[in-house]
Structures are given as C-alpha cells and as structure tokens.
Amino acid sequence: MREQLLITASSILLPPNPSPNPLNPKSYALKRFTLLPKKPCPPPPSPGPPLLSDVSRHPPPDLRLGYYADLASKLASAGRIDDFLMIAESFLATETDPSRFIDFVNVELVSAGISRFLGDGKLRTVVEALGKIEEMGIRPSSLLDGSAKQSLASECRKLVDGGRIEEFVELMESLAGYGFSVKEFVEPFAILKICVKKRDPHMAVRYASIFPHAPILFCSIIQEFGKKQDLVSALIVFEASKWKSDGPNMYVCRSIIDTCGLCGDFLRSRCIFEELLAQNITPNIYVFNSLMNVNGHDLSYTLHVYNHMQTLGVAADVASYNILLKACCLAGRVDLAQDIYKEVQHVASTGALKMDIITYSTTIKVFADAKMWQMALKVKDDMLCAGVNPNIVTWSSLISAFANAGLVEQAVNVFEEMLLAGCEPNTQCCNILLYACVVACQYDRAFRFFRSWVKSGFPNTRGCGGNIYAQLSAKNTGNSGATCVSHHIIDPHQVSFSKVVPFRPTVATYNILMKACGTDFWRAKALMDEMRMLGLYPNHRSWSILIDVCGKAHNVQGAMQAFQNMRNAGITPDVIAYTTAIKACVENKSLKMAFLLFEEMKRYLIQPNLVTYNTLLRARSRYGSLQEVRQCLAIYQDMRKAGYSSNDYFLKELLEEWCEGVIKNSELGPVQMTYPSCSSGKPKTDKPQSLLLEKIAVLLQKDFVKGSSVDLRGLSKVEARIVVLAVLRMIKETYNQGKPIEDDLIIFTGVGTGSGCSESEVQGALIKVLLR
C-alpha cells in the first residue's frame, strides 16, 4: 500500500484526464459515484444514466475532484500531510468552490493521519496544517472525525496541565477560528479560574472573547476576582469587555457593581452607574438593584437611586423593595421601613409582585433591631397569611427581636417553636439565643444551653412530618378567607423526632459566652483556651471582650496585659479594642493610661470614633487643673475636626464648674453630674456648634501673653461670663505656678449674631464678675 503511494509531486500535478491513474480509476470512479448521495450528478443530458465508459473518457468535474480528494486522503492517512496539502492546493487553484473539496475527502483517513501526528506529539504541525487548510477556504474542523477531535482536545489539555495557559489560549483562538467547538476541549470556566488564580485578567478576557457568550464569561471572571478581593483586575476585565461589544452589557455592569460592593469600593459603583447615564443608557432593574444594594449603608443615596429608577420608568421588583428595607434596617429607620413595607404590601395586592421570604424576614429584622417585638410578630403573622413559611433566618430574626428586648423566656419559646415547626437550628440562630441570655444577664442559663447543645445536639425533624407550618399552610390552601396561623397553636405531640443534628460552636459562640463570664477573667480566659483546642482562633472581638471583662473586674493591669497579648497573638488592636482598653482605664481611674492609649492609637493612625471620644471626655467628672481642661478641650476640638458632634451640654457643665472654682476660691468637692439624654434636659443656650466651647478651647490652649484679647461677640451674657471666668481661672492657675501676670486683657463685647443679648447686658454681667 505504501509503495503505491510514492508519487512525485510532478506526477500528482499532471491532470488525470484522460490518462489512467495508478489507483485504478475505474473502480474508484464507480465507488465515488455510488457513495455520493448528497451531491447528485448533474441531470443526464439524455434519458438514462451515462455509461461508465463515457465517464472514464470525459470525467465530469466531480470525478476529478473525487480523484484528487481520495488521493489526498490516502496520503494524509499515511502521515504525509504536506503532500495532502499540496494536492489540495493544486487542485483548489482551479476550483471555484473550495468547500466542495470536503465532500470528497475521506474524513476517516485524514483523521487517522492527523491522530497519528498528534500521537507523536506533533500538535504544532497539525495546527499549522489546519491553518493552511483554512487559508485555502476549507473549513478545517470538517476534516476531523470525532476520534481525531478527541485526540486534538487531549493534546490541548496537556498544555493546560503543563501550565502553558498562554499557548493554550492562543491555540484555542486559532481552533475556534477553524470551526472547532473549543468549549468541548476544556471546560471554559476551569481555564478562567486558572487565569484568575494567576491574576491575569488580560488572558482571561482574551480567552473569554473566543466564545459567543463572552459577556456571561466576563461576569464570571469579574465575580471570581471579586471573591479574591481583586477589584483592580475585575475593573480591567470590565473595561476590556466594553471594547468587545458595541456598548456596556447589563450583565457585566451588574457584576462589576456587585464586585465593587464585595471589595468595599461603593464609590466606584456609583462612578460606573454615572458612566452609563452619561452615555444615555438606561440601566436595567438588575443594575439598579445591585447599585442600591452595594450602597445600602447610605440610605439617602439608595433612596436617590430608587427615585432615579422611577424617573426613568424602570419598575421596582421585589428585590428592589427588599434592598430598600435592608437599607432602612442598616440605618435604623423603622419609620421609613414601615412605609416601605406598606408600599410593597400595596403593590403586592395589585398582583404586580409577590412578597417573598426576604421581604418578611428583613422587615422582622428591622423591628427586631428596634426592640419592637410586637411588630415583628405582626409581620410573622402577615407572612403566614400570605402562605410564606418562616425559614431559619426568619426564626433567627424573631428570636433576636426578643433577645434585644431582654425577653429571654419569649426568645426561648420562639426557639422551641422553631424546632417544633421542623426548622433545623444552625449555630447563628443558637448564638442569638445565647446572646438573649447575656442581654438579660442570665449568664448561667447561657452556659447551660451551651453545654446541653454540645452534649446532645438537636433532634432532626426533617422528613418525618415535623413542619407544622407546611402542613397547616397546605390545609389552608383553598380557603376563601385568610386563615392565619398564630404562634401559639403548635401541639408538640404532633411532632416526632429522629436522629440528631450536632451543634458546632463558632468563634462568635465563644465570644458571646465570654461576655457571659461577667467579671470572671479566668473563666473567660479558659473559654479562649477551649476555643483554641477546637481549632478556633480568638478574633478582634474575643480580645476586646477579654479586655472588657478585666475592666469590669477593676483589673487594669489584666486589661493592659490582654491588650498586649492581643498584639502578641498577631491581632492588631482596632478602634474597638483601643476604646475598650481606654474604657477599662477610665472606669478604674487610670486616666493617664487612658490618654496614653489615645495618643498611641492616633500614632498608629487608628481613627478614634464617637464612642472613643465620648469615653475619653467622660473620663473626668470634674476638672482639676488647667492642664486637665486643656487636655479635654483638645479632644473636644479633635472630635469636631473629625466630624463628630459632641455632648456639649456635659462638657459645658464641667467647664462651668471649673470656671466657678475661681470665684468659690476653695477646693471643689465631688461633683454629682447628671447625664442628660438627647431628648430632654437640653439648656436653651445649646447650639449645634457651641461657640462658647470653641471660644474657651481657643482661649485656654495658649498661654496668657502680652496683648491677649478675649472676643465675646456672639455670646450671651451667661456665656460671656463663663468665658471671662475661664480666663480668670487660667490666670489664677498660672499665678499659682509662680508666674505673675501684669499685662492688660482686652475684652471685645460687641454683640454678634444670635446671642439674644444686648451689648450693655453683656458688659453689665462682666463688670459684676470682674468686681468680685
């Protein structure tokens, strides 16, 4: 066979017509004519089929094509791909329709040859040959049968296994262009994951672009980068995706917005949204929902987006409302959440949407957080009426409604009701119940629950008809009036249990238990050790709680040691750990240490927050020296600079006490301070930005020097009096330190805006003070 195929190029290029050929053209011609049902011969010019002898003498084009194709096929099967290509090329130079060549080629033979090449590891040669075939206008993929395609795919996979992703992608680009279905070679998602793992967004885009459903793949890549917190790469994919299509794809936009949220860059999500609007593109509901969701912590922005959506005529769906409810929940806006809940109930009544379990659960959480457990129960009834069964999240929110209100018994009842309803508890849910015990200071009860759960787990009611709600809901179906299921009617005897669901505590569980240690430092420490034994690592919260336990036990040393151990354990103290440590110091009169911690956190660029400032400002219930006043005023000013508003009333009271000290001229006894709540007890002179405090802060921060002046403009007579007293006390303190002051003090008394006093009134008040 092989000898028969030894044909020189020149002999191949000689036209076969009309000379005989070495491969028995007669039998070949007969074979080809009978084997070509798809390409019927041109209709015979005369009635009756042509005679075989006529065909041999004047072979029609198909016959010549068949001859060459068959010859080429046999050469290919013998591993002579170059010869195959040469024949194909020489013939096709005269053929007007190259694609017809395929119809005559013996794909089985060609495939056998190609498989042999692939088996010898000559992948490149095969791909180059396929490239040449493509250049001739022949679709390369149609030359390979299933088996050859599998061999090709297997060779390509070897590149992936060898980590040669770039070569693989390049190959896939070529093969896709040659008509191969490359997604069958290797699962596309697997390749994309490798690109993401290598942090190569460009390669991922290049590979995804091969496929007609590229936008979906772009979404996957963006999401995968998001999971790795790699927003930069995700944005590269997003930008590249824009160039691959006519305009931004809504799927891709939604993905990048979600990813911005996942990576904590919500401002970027807003920019992407603005870009869409700038291009006059109306985002779809998914884009709007994702944008609102990512910015859910900023209620005003979320509402702005919601309004914008309505302006553009994009109808809100149930997810939109759920997100709005979540935003209200985060902002603690029960009032607004109630309005939205009513609105969504109304829309649902028109049939435009159906409230789902998330709508109900989120609303229950809003009420739970606000300790409005009655309202939470009302929503639970609403959901049962609507035929929606509570799930573990709903039950958890209900339990937390009672937990936050300090109602342990009710929390336990709901927990048991949940078990009876056939809902399997998870650790988060159990943690809420433990937390309920802690809020109500039932510490022993928390430990009893914990030990019993660890020992026995929970009964599994799945698959044994335990879900009472499902049963009742099914019974209610078809009733004309709504039959609501109250939370009291469960009969425990209806339910049978089987098997056991184990309880697996988490770090959060132990943290709650540590809180349940009250002031027992050693117990809390033992729990930390127990955590480690279970392979759980104490986190920021664990350490902060331990510090707090020490603080409450009046053990400042222990608190400082715990603070240090936190660092030693590799956990950098955050603002909460610092604030807790500061609190431990403040409550135990270690003020110097408290202020040192404050200085330290600022040195480490940990921004104090409102709680930190308030903890520090309340460190003193009276001020002793000028230095102490200065320290507090500095914190006050720092706080204002950071954008926090302070409890001016409290600070003012302390300052006034201090200032009055100059008149009383005696050591002040302990001052009994009352802490006014936000809603009551505010003096009339209180202004949003206290001019008085600002003036005193500025005055007291610098030493009294020649030419010092006091500007009382804008202050009431009471305030002006305090300022003057402050200056006098400062002078007194300075004098007591042995520094006599002989310079004059200039006082400006012009009445500014908003003081409500005349200049003479202020002056009168001052003279009274100064003459004392």
Structure-token pair, residue 620:
């003193």
Choose the stretch contacting DNA; rule: CB under 7 A; options: 21-29, 104-112, 535-543, 731-739: 535-543
From the DSSP assignment, how many helices (H) and strands (E) are in the chain? 39, 4
Q: Which of 126, 143, 204, 323 binds DNA (CB under 7 A)?
A: 323
Altogether, the residues listed in the chain come to a count of 772
Residue 510: CB minimum distance to DNA, A:
7
Q: Which of 73, 174, 302, 361 binds DNA (CB under 7 A)?
A: 361
Does residue 540 belong to the site contacting DNA (CB under 7 A)? yes
Does residue 334 belong to the site contacting DNA (CB under 7 A)? no
3-state SS assignment for residue 686: coil
Residue 7 or 549 with smaller CB distance to DNA: 549
Strand spans (E) along 616-733 = 709-711
Residue 166 or 317 with smaller CB distance to DNA: 317
Q: Which of 209, 461, 579, 588 binds DNA (CB under 7 A)?
A: 579
Residue 330 or 484 with smaller CB distance to DNA: 330
Residue 388: CB minimum distance to DNA, A:
9
Cβ neighbours around 580 below 10 Å, total: 28
CB 273 within 8 A of CB 245: no
Does residue 435 belong to the site contacting DNA (CB under 7 A)? yes
Q: How large is the C-alpha radius of gyration of the chain? A: 41
DSSP per-residue codes, 141-158: GGG--HHHHHHHHHHHHH
The number of residues that bind DNA (CB under 7 A) is 66
Residue 222: CB minimum distance to DNA, A:
11
Does residue 159 belong to the site contacting DNA (CB under 7 A)? no
Residue 217: CB minimum distance to DNA, A:
13
Residue 543: CB minimum distance to DNA, A:
8
Residue for token pair 């911690």: 597
Q: Which of 111, 400, 631, 749 binds DNA (CB under 7 A)?
A: 400
Residues 195 and 206: their CA atoms lie apart, in Å, by: 10
Does residue 88 belong to the site contacting DNA (CB under 7 A)? no
3-state SS assignment for residue 319: helix
Does residue 365 belong to the site contacting DNA (CB under 7 A)? yes
Does residue 429 belong to the site contacting DNA (CB under 7 A)? yes
Does residue 358 belong to the site contacting DNA (CB under 7 A)? yes
Does residue 548 belong to the site contacting DNA (CB under 7 A)? yes
Residue 111 or 404 with smaller CB distance to DNA: 404
User: Segment 248-267, which members bind DNA (CB under 7 A)?
Assistant: 251, 254-255, 258
Residue 499: CB minimum distance to DNA, A:
20
Does residue 380 belong to the site contacting DNA (CB under 7 A)? no
Residue 185 or 636 with smaller CB distance to DNA: 636
List the x/- string, 598-627, binding to DNA by CB under 7 A. -----------xxxx-xx--x---------
Structure-token pair, residue 96:
């007007």
Cβ neighbours around 22 below 10 Å, total: 11
The amino acid present at 539, given as its one-letter code, is N
Does residue 356 belong to the site contacting DNA (CB under 7 A)? yes
The enclosing H or E element of 291 equals helix 285-294
Residue for token pair 């921060």: 701
Residue 102 or 673 with smaller CB distance to DNA: 673
Residue 611 or 747 with smaller CB distance to DNA: 611
CB 465 within 8 A of CB 496: yes
Residue 125 or 345 with smaller CB distance to DNA: 345
User: Segment 174-233, which members bind DNA (CB under 7 A)?
Assistant: 219
Does residue 576 belong to the site contacting DNA (CB under 7 A)? yes
Cβ neighbours around 488 below 10 Å, total: 7
Choose the stretch contacting DNA; rule: CB under 7 A; options: 323-331, 599-607, 627-635, 723-731: 323-331
The enclosing H or E element of 223 equals helix 214-227
Does residue 508 belong to the site contacting DNA (CB under 7 A)? yes
The DSSP secondary-structure symbol of 499 reads E
Residue 67 or 613 with smaller CB distance to DNA: 613
Does residue 473 belong to the site contacting DNA (CB under 7 A)? no
Instruction: Return the ∠ at Cα 431 (arms to 425 and 432), rounded to 5°.
Output: 90
Does residue 555 belong to the site contacting DNA (CB under 7 A)? no
Find out whether the peptide bond into 45 is cis, omega within 30 degrees of 0. Answer: no
Structure-token pair, residue 451:
């030990």
Residue 424: CB minimum distance to DNA, A:
10
The region that residue 757 occupies, defined by phi over 0 for left and psi between -120 and 50 for alpha, beta otherwise, is: beta
Residues 74 and 110: their CA atoms lie apart, in Å, by: 7
CB 547 within 8 A of CB 565: no
Does residue 322 belong to the site contacting DNA (CB under 7 A)? yes
Q: Is the dihedral of CA 422, 427, 428, 432 positive or negative?
A: positive
Does residue 111 belong to the site contacting DNA (CB under 7 A)? no
The enclosing H or E element of 747 equals strand 746-748
Q: Which of 153, 336, 392, 501 binds DNA (CB under 7 A)?
A: 392
Residue 186: CB minimum distance to DNA, A:
23
CB 93 within 8 A of CB 131: no
Choose the stretch contacting DNA; rule: CB under 7 A; options: 112-120, 432-440, 717-725, 753-761: 432-440
Backbone angles phi, psi at 131, to 5 degrees: -60, -45
- Give whole-number Cα distances, 154 to 17, 107, 144, 148, in Å: 42, 19, 14, 10
Does residue 427 belong to the site contacting DNA (CB under 7 A)? yes
Choose the stretch contacting DNA; rule: CB under 7 A; options: 128-136, 192-200, 247-255, 556-564: 247-255
Residues 38 and 258: their CA atoms lie apart, in Å, by: 53
Structure-token pair, residue 272:
């992407």
Residue for token pair 């095969």: 126
Strand pairing class (709-711; 746-748)? parallel
3-state SS assignment for residue 501: strand
Q: Which of 82, 166, 317, 694 binds DNA (CB under 7 A)?
A: 317
Residue 579: CB minimum distance to DNA, A:
4
Residue 185 or 266 with smaller CB distance to DNA: 266
Residue 80 or 552 with smaller CB distance to DNA: 552
Residues 193 and 659: their CA atoms lie apart, in Å, by: 69
Choose the stretch contacting DNA; rule: CB under 7 A; options: 124-132, 198-206, 539-547, 620-628: 539-547
- Residues 6 or more apart in contact with residue 732 via CB below 8 angstroms: 662
Q: Which of 512, 597, 606, 691 binds DNA (CB under 7 A)?
A: 512
User: Segment 22-81, which members bind DNA (CB under 7 A)?
Assistant: none
Does residue 757 belong to the site contacting DNA (CB under 7 A)? no
- Could you list the residues that contact DNA (CB under 7 A)? 219, 251, 254-255, 258, 285-286, 289-290, 293, 296, 317-319, 322-323, 326, 329, 356-358, 361-362, 365, 369, 391-394, 396-397, 400, 426-429, 431-432, 435, 438, 506-509, 511-512, 515, 539-541, 544-545, 548, 575-577, 579-580, 583, 609-612, 614-615, 618
